[in-house]
A and B are shown apart, each in its own frame.
Chain A
Amino acid sequence: MASGQPAGGILLVKNRAICVSDLGADLRRETLISNADPLDFLSLLKPRVMSLVVFTALVGMVLAPGAIHPVIGLIAVFAIAVGAGASGALNMWYDADIDAVMGRTAKRPIPSGRVQPGEALSFGMILSVLSVMVLGLATNWVAGGLLAFTIFFYVVIYTMGLKRRTAQNIVIGGAAGALPPVVGWAAVTGGVAIEPMILFSIIFLWTPPHFWALAIVRKDDYARAGVPMLPNVASDRNTRLQILLYSLLLIPFGVAPFFMGFGGWLYGATALVGGVMMVWWSVGILRADDEDRLKKACWSLFGGSILYLFAVFAALLLEWAGGFAWALLREGLA
């Protein structure tokens, strides 16, 4: 039974069950014949999010004590990336109705009618199973299990459970995005330790200011879609204070790897400067006294936060690469 209006060439069906024989010829055609190109399926994987997952998982892997064959390591990163992509596809399947009414997401493959919801569901499920299987077989089942949990958390807990119900959606749901370094670490060691949990905390605390900065700018979009993002349900001041609070918390967690000894001076300096910049941008949002300034400050924090996360993880990777090259050089000289 159709419950939504046709939008962008696709009939949105709330319970996703269509009695095809009841549809007109045009609609039958749109329902039965796929219009998808292989590239549409690729965009279901949210490639930009995937790149961040790959990067943070890789850092988790290289920091882990122990050795992994480089080819197996590459396969593990690939499996983690595909798992993240699969959860993105399942998220797009479930959220097709709200994606259709939001400017930022209306052109995604399902709301634009290029990919059928059922195709996205099958695609996401198949890739989820395969990615977990490949990671488990290539490395170990702790890593495989953690990847399965990450996909479950993102799709079932965040997308189906939290997103439309609570303003804490991205705070709790942020755990899914924060898990890749833990999965990467487990792929090498077969377990979890305090170090990857610190990396987890950094991404976890980074998520609210990053997404709430975007949510302030896209407030109308979220209101139209009925998603209770914090700026839509709390006062402006409350949202801005919470953004500042999470940014402040990010500083001690950000520099923790330096004090715990698995981040060097380059990392320590990057995390400290980056953390201070996050607070600076958050204060900019708190102090913005008109709409234009607020939007500008939000975009600064949104873009700056991406730069922050990239910089701190890149610093860890650079330090590891430097140490690795130095060890090789010493071995060559000896």
Chain B
Amino acid sequence: MSAPQETEGLRLTDEEKARRARRNKAIGFGVAGLCLLFYVITVFKMGPAILSRPM
């Protein structure tokens, strides 16, 4: 398989790359926040019962 030609496709400018990086970070924080949110909901909805399960 040959390497893609440099002239093919659109190349991002530095500003566009920086914006993409900021969007990626925001998505990362969003996903992490969602995980934390579900963790907190689980803990507060179930309370101490979270530990009562068959071993």
Contacts and interface: CB of A to CB of B under 8 A. Distances in A.
B24 to A, nearest CB: 10
A36 B24 CA distance: 11
B35 interface: no
A34 B19 contact: yes
A29 to B, nearest CB: 6
A125 interface: no
A130 B10 CA distance: 33
Interface in A136-183: 137-138
Contacts of A41: 26
A71 interface: yes
A134 B44 contact: no
A72 B12 CA distance: 43
B14 to A, nearest CB: 13
B45 A72 contact: yes
Nearest to B22: A38
A86 to B, nearest CB: 13
A71 B34 contact: no
Contacts of B16: 33, 35
A37 interface: yes
A48 interface: no
B44 A37 contact: no
B16, B23, B25, most chain A CB atoms within 10 A: B23
Interface residues of B, number: 16
Contact of B34 (A36, A37, A130): A130
Contacts of A36: 19, 23
Contacts of B20: 34
A138 B44 CA distance: 9
Nearest to B15: A35
Contacts of A28: 10
Nearest to B34: A130
Interface in B1-19: 10, 12, 16, 19
B26 to A, nearest CB: 4
A26 to B, nearest CB: 11
Contacts of B10: 28-29, 32-33
Contact of B41 (A33, A35, A75): A75
Contacts of A34: 19-20, 23
Contacts of A104: none
B12 to A, nearest CB: 7
B19 A71 contact: no
Interface in A32-59: 32-38, 41
A35, A36, A38, A71, most chain B CB atoms within 10 A: A38
Given A29-B10, A130-B34, A134-B37, A35 B19 contact: yes
Given A36-B23, A71-B44, 16 more contacts: A28-B10, A33-B12, A33-B16, A34-B23, A35-B16, A36-B19, A37-B19, A37-B22, A37-B23, A38-B23, A38-B25, A41-B26, A130-B34, A134-B41, A137-B45, A138-B41
21 contacts: A33-B10, A33-B16, A34-B19, A34-B20, A34-B23, A35-B16, A35-B19, A36-B23, A37-B23, A38-B26, A72-B41, A72-B44, A72-B45, A75-B37, A75-B40, A75-B41, A134-B37, A134-B38, A134-B41, A137-B38, A138-B45
Report the 9 A-B pairs with minimum CB-CB distance, sorted nearest first: A38-B26, A138-B41, A71-B44, A69-B44, A72-B44, A38-B22, A29-B10, A37-B19, A33-B16
